[in-house]
Amino acid sequence: MLINIRNFLFLQGTIVSYMHDDQRFITYLQQNDHRGISQIYQLFAPKIIQMIRHNSGTPADAADVMQEALVSIYKMCSEREFVLSCPFEAFFVMVCKRKWFSMLKKRSGSPVTNSLDNGYTIEKENMEAKELADQLEREDALMRVLDTMGKTCRDIIRGCMGKDPQEKVAERLGYTYAYLRKKKSECLTQLGKLVREHPLFKL
């Protein structure tokens, strides 16, 4: 089996990660590349539409699911260091499938008529795609949990995790720097507890 050595990432002479050729799809999202994103739709939309139509959905549902999935993927892979180690298709289809399953559950009147694995059985997807999709789901869940917190904690966490220095965040929110740091610790502790209770999120 021939393997392209350029795809391996090395750290002090040790292979730490393998970059799949489909990394370009991640780059298209990171760079908001119109032509590249069109390519993603051309290549993968037919399969997503087929999977969703097979499970009580419409092409319009497929459009929503695809957009939501691509935004989630972008958020997870937004840092340039992110390395895709599996085929993008396997990862993308799995993310879309899970998002559609979640939407179906919310629509009480729309029972799942077929197995979501029809046509895209787990055997076809590699385990790395599954691990990535699991990670994406956990990250989505974390952000949803954050949104359930009180406004003060939300503002403090969002402010402190942003690009601005904490002194500036304190000033913007009208707190002293010391109070902001104290509240930030409390809010992050509370968030940690909430997340631990979430079935998806086990760091």
Partner 1 sequence: MQNYFEHIFDYLDGTLPPEEKHLFEAELQVNQDLRKETARQRDLQAILRKQIRAEDKIIPLNSTLTEVGDAYFKKKDRVRILRWLLPVTVAACLLVVFRFWSDPAFEKLPGMPSATQRGDRGDATYEQAVKAYNEGDYPASILHLSALAAAEEPPARYTYYLGLSYLGKKEYAAAARELREVAEGKSVFAPDACYFLGVAFWKTKQNVEAGAYLERVPQSSSYYEKAQKLNKRLRP
Using the rule CB under 8 A, give the single segment among 11-19, 75-83, 89-97, 107-115 that binds partner 1: 75-83
Residue from the set 84, 93, 132, 191 that interacts with partner 1 by CB under 8 A: 191
Torsion over CA: 39, 133, 65, 163 (sign): negative
**Burial label, 91 (beta-carbon count in 10 A; 0-12, 13-18, 19+):** buried
The rounded distance, in Å, linking the Cα atoms of 60 and 58 is 5
Number of residues that bind partner 1 (CB under 8 A): 40
d(CA 190, CA 157): 11
Q: What is d(CA 120, CA 16) in angstroms, rounded to the nearest whole number?
A: 30
- Answer yes or no whether residue 116 interacts with partner 1 by CB under 8 A: no
Shortest reach from residue 63's CB to partner 1, in Å: 5
Q: Which of 135, 176, 184, 189 is nearest to 158 (CA)?
A: 184
- By CB under 8 A, tell whether 158 contacts partner 1: yes
Least Å distance, CB 196 to partner 1, is: 8
162 interacts with partner 1 by CB under 8 A = yes
- Measured CA to CA, the distance from residue 110 to residue 57 in angstroms comes to 9
- The CB-of-38 to partner 1 minimum distance in angstroms stands at 5
- The helix (run of H) or strand (run of E) holding residue 153 is helix 151-160
148 binds partner 1 (CB under 8 A): no
Whichever of 18 and 41 has its CB closer to partner 1, that residue is 41
Among 15, 16, 21, 59, binds partner 1 (CB under 8 A): 59
Q: What's the rounded Cα separation, in Å, for the pair 110 and 106?
A: 9
Question: Is 156 one of the binding residues for partner 1 (CB under 8 A)?
Answer: no
Q: Is 80 in the site for partner 1 (CB under 8 A)?
A: no
Query: Does the CA dihedral 78-74-166-160 come out positive or negative?
Result: negative
184 binds partner 1, rule: CB under 8 A: yes
Residues within the interface to partner 1 (CB under 8 A): 29, 32, 34, 37-38, 41-42, 45, 49, 59-60, 62-63, 66-67, 70-71, 74-76, 78-79, 139, 142-143, 146, 157-158, 161-163, 166, 181, 184-185, 188, 191-192, 195, 203
